[in-house]
Amino acid sequence: MKRGYLLVFLAASMWGTLGVFAKYLDGFGLSTFTMVFYRVLFAVLLLTAYLKFRGITFSLDRSRLKFYALYGFFSIFLFYTLYFYTVTISSVSFAVLLLYTAPVYSIILGRVVFKEKLTPEKLLALFLVMVGVVLVNGAGNDFSTKALVFGLLTGLTYALYGVLAKFAVREEEPEKALFYTLLFGLFFLLPFTDFSVPAGAVPYLFALAFFPTFLGYILYNHALKEIEVSRASIIATVEPVVAIVLAFLLFGETLSAKQLAGAVLIIGGSVIVHAGEKEKPEEAH
């Protein structure tokens, strides 16, 4: 049991490095689409080797093609790109906190798609997250309205990612579902990618694909074999904490007292939502 908790903690810590990699790659002059394309490309190659090593066949029913095209568009093309773009026009801390507005959208989507009840706990979580966003964005924040809008859209697409993942793992193994999602997302990114990148950026691109994308997901998936998804999701909320700490250590990013209070409310709202989850394992970013 303890091993499962450790695996989730390690996976979430890896996801917390996403914004850090985006900041470093932005320094090389790479566009957001180019960053995401190479992240996905290297991750697909790593997953291909992993699936072959495990003896998992690459088979997909034609009836699932439209689903994965939709999944790849929202969960890879839009989600990944919006998150990285928000980081580049604001800060790692700001972007990751707005990413964690996803529970608000998840509650709404859960009500609309799965007919889930709006419990007092969910309403409390909605209230906490919304107040948290006001505090994070309104306390001495120099970022543009565009950063706020794109950050909130990131939260929406992250929530869609979770909803679509629930449908994906009903038909395919989690690793195969991730593989097909990344593969379709890759095709959407192709027209917007600048394939010429500085040699110095390549190690960062590979590390971005390996640590937070490939390894983070594999660790999380293995953890779900030992602990409940609701408990894993709660532990995974360490991600924004890791991101904020790394942003402070590496880039000198700081949050005001009100923004820290907002961060606590947003993360707290996420914990409340995940505490009530009883769903099957779903994919992570």
pLDDT in tens, 256-271: 888 999 999 999 999 9
Residue 125 CA to residue 132 CA, distance in Å, equals 10
pLDDT in tens, 51-102: 999 998 888 888 999 999 999 999 999 999 999 999 999 999 999 999 999 9
CA distances from 196 to 24, 83, 199, 208 (A): 17, 22, 9, 17
Residue 182 CA to residue 159 CA, distance in Å, equals 17
How crowded is the C-beta side of 156, counted as CA atoms within 13 Å? 9
What size, in residues, is the chain?
Answer: 285
Residue 82 CA to residue 147 CA, distance in Å, equals 10
Question: Which sequence spans correspond to the domains of the chain?
Answer: 2-275
CA distances from 183 to 104, 158, 235, 250 (A): 28, 18, 29, 32
CA distances from 97 to 16, 121, 136, 163, 254 (A): 11, 20, 8, 20, 13
Q: Show the tokens assigned to 29.
A: 């002059």
pTM for the full model? 0.91
Tell me how crowded residue 198 is: count the other CB atoms within 10 A of its CB.
11
Q: Can you tell me which residue has the tokens 């097909």?
A: 180
* Greater pLDDT, 283 or 228: 228
First-to-final CA distance of the chain: 23
Q: Show the tokens assigned to 249.
A: 């250590």
The counts of H helices and E strands in the chain are: 15, 0
pLDDT band at residue 277 using 50, 70 and 90 as cut-offs? low
Tell me how crowded residue 73 is: count the other CB atoms within 10 A of its CB.
19
Query: 260 and 45 in contact (C-beta within 8 Å)?
Result: no
Of 211, 94, 212, 232, the residue nearest 155 (C-alpha): 94
The pLDDT score that the predictor gives to residue 285 is 67
Of 168, 207, 175, 193, the residue nearest 66 (C-alpha): 168
pLDDT in tens, 7-48: 999 999 999 999 999 999 999 999 999 999 999 999 999 999
Amino acid at 39: R
